[in-house]
Amino acid sequence: MKGLIAVISAGILLGGCHVFGDDNNGPLEVRGPAVADVVKKLPNLELPEVRVPPPSRDDVIAAYQRVYGSVPDARENQAVGKRLADLEMQVGEDRDAAGEEAPYQAAIQLYEELLEQPNGQDVDQIIYQLARAYDVVGDNVSAKKYLDRLITQYPESAYAVESRFRRAEMAFSAEQYAMAADLLAQ
């Protein structure tokens, strides 16, 4: 019985193939010109070269500012905020070189805000950047606080060694030689 059903099914399937083609050209007849032939006959077009200038850093910052705080995913929003803070840090360096007042304030404010967000990523990097920002503005108390926090909370961080060095350098500059040596020995 199973064999009979299989033979009937095969006959129906093979008969169906006959419906889609004729006996002369087979079931997969090519109709019309090949695509390659059509493309070869298309005229050559001379298109003008269009150059779009890359956005300026101010344009990029403005775009990040528009997006930051409105991204529904908390991790993605934090990533936008971190990138914005890093850009503000670069702007701060330029402003600092130009002698402007409070050149790193926007970066510091963003980094502080990022640290308040729960379940943040790259917290060690944010703390390091914040300590660096405080260091360059001369707020050694805040810089030390964040370097110590990074060393304590993230001892395996890629920034921990640099943080220990910076902390030791601050102690050495303050003529706290024993503390500087201890920090370097850790």
Average pLDDT, the chain: 84
Which domain CATH number covers 171?
Answer: 1.25.40
Whether 131 and 168 map to the same domain: the answer is: yes
DSSP labels, the chain: -HHHHHHHHHHHHHHHHHHTSBTTTBSS---S--HHHHHHHSPP--PPP--PPPPPHHHHHHHHHHHTTT-SSHHHHHHHHHHHHHHHHHHHHHHHHTT-SSTTHHHHHHHHHHHHSTT-SSHHHHHHHHHHHHHHTT-HHHHHHHHHHHHHH-TTSTTHHHHHHHHHHHHHHTT-HHHHHHHHH-
Residue 111 forms part of a structural domain:
yes
- Model confidence at 7, pLDDT cuts 50, 70, 90, reads very low
Between residues 18 and 77, the one the model is more confident about: 77
What value does the mean pLDDT take over residues 41-46?
Answer: 85
Whether 130 and 176 map to the same domain: the answer is: yes
Residue 13 forms part of a structural domain:
no
**Can you give the residue range of the structural domain that contains 83?**
55-121
- Work out how many domains the chain is built from and give that number: 2
pTM given for the model: 0.68
